[in-house]
């Protein structure tokens, strides 16, 4: 299976402090589902920021869709980012837009005509259980509802990679299962999915998902499953 993301000896240092991420090396196989776990402060959000190109590493090599993401010119970044859907930990919805318009945004930015925007937005709103709240602005939605709008916005354009940072942090267990099922359905259609979570309950929900575990800025890969081809697990 082709790898869609490669990190080689990546390090990240904010300011002049210690490295937040050190010697991080892995490859993500196209079409695979990954969970990223680790204690609070281990560096999960930082790793995801490198992945969705919000942050450049202090050292190492990152290749995304076969291109060198570290030396890439700033003009190329928006086109690369459009191939990814991101669920931010703090949602980042546009406050003056309704739930509907927030979800429609990636499709409109991609230049889809309005008659091709309506159906996917309607379907996504229904999927995340917010059909009745289509016209609500983010400030009038609960935290869990905002999170569901953020998820709908990230997946509506069927991105090649979906990156989600604690996407079930604000919803009840039933909704968490439903959202994970949505990610799994997208994964079955070919999207590579990376979900950072503290929620151990979720980890068993996706058969075949690979685990990435960060421990104080270092990625543990005891089974070698993050290399390609994955190592056989020793009997």
Ligand X SMILES: Nc1ncnc2c1ncn2[C@@H]1O[C@H](COP(=O)(O)OP(=O)(O)OP(=O)(O)O)[C@@H](O)[C@H]1O
The footprint of ligand X (CB under 6 A) covers 14, 20, 38, 40-46
Q: Which residues contact 111 (CB under 8 A, 6 or more apart)?
A: none
Q: CB-wise, 54 or 112, nearer to ligand X?
A: 54
Q: What is the DSSP string of the chain?
A: --EEEEEEEEEEE-TTS-EEEEEEEEEEETT-EEEEE--TTSSHHHHHHHHTTSS--SEEEEEETTEETTT--GGGHHHHHTTEEEE-TT----TTS-HHHHHHHHHHHTT--HHHHHHHHHHHHHHTT-GGGTT--GGGS-HHHHHHHHHHHHHTT--SEEEEESTTTTS-HHHHHHHHHHHHHHHHTT-EEEEE-S-HHHHTTSTT-EEEEEETTEEE-TT-TTSSSPPPPP-
- Give the nearer residue to ligand X in terms of CB position, either 50 or 69: 50
Indicate the residue among 14 and 66 with the shorter CB distance to ligand X: 14
Tell me whether residue 42 or residue 149 sits nearer to ligand X (CB atom).
42
Tokens in use for 179? 């959202």
Least spacing, CB of residue 142 vs ligand X, in Å: 21
For residue 104, how many other CB atoms are within 10 A of its CB?
22
**Least distance from C-beta 43 to ligand X, angstroms?**
4
Structure tokens, 102: 């927030």
Shortest reach from residue 95's CB to ligand X, in Å = 22
Nearer to ligand X (CB atom), residue 42 or residue 93 = 42
Measured distance CA(37)–CA(225) in Å, rounded: 15
Pick 3 or 37: Cβ nearer ligand X: 37
Min dist. Cβ of residue 146 to ligand X (A): 17
To ligand X, the closest distance from the beta carbon of 144 in angstroms equals 18
**Cβ 213 to ligand X, closest distance in Å?**
11
Quick one: 124 or 212, whose CB is closer to ligand X?
Answer: 212
Tell me how far, at minimum, the Cβ of 23 lies from ligand X, in Å. 15
């Amino acid at each position: 299976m082709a790898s869609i993301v490669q990190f080689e000896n990546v390090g990240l240092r904010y300011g002049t402090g210690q490295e937040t991420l050190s010697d991080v090396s892995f490859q993500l196989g196209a079409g695979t589902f990954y969970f990223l776990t680790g204690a609070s402060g281990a560096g999960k959000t930082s790793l995801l920021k490198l992945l969705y190109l919000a942050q450049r590493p202090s050292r190492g090599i990152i290749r995304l869709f076969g291109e060198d993401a570290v030396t890439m010119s700033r003009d190329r970044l928006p086109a690369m980012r459009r191939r990814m859907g991101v669920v931010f930990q703090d949602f980042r919805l546009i406050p003056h837009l309704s739930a509907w318009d927030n979800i429609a945004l990636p499709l409109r930015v991609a230049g889809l005509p309005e008659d091709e925007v309506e159906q996917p937005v309607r379907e996504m709103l229904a999927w995340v259980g917010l059909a009745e709240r289509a016209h609500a602005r983010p400030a009038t939605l609960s935290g869990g509802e905002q999170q569901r709008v953020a998820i709908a916005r990230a997946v509506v354009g069927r991105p090649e990679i979906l990156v989600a940072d604690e996407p079930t942090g604000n919803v009840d267990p039933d909704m968490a299962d439903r959202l994970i099922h949505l990610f799994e359905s997208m994964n079955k259609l070919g999207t590579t999915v990376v979900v950072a979570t503290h929620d151990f309950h979720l980890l068993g929900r996706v058969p075949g998902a690979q685990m990435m575990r960060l421990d104080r800025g270092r990625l543990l890969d005891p089974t070698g499953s993050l290399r390609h081809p994955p190592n056989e697990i020793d009997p």
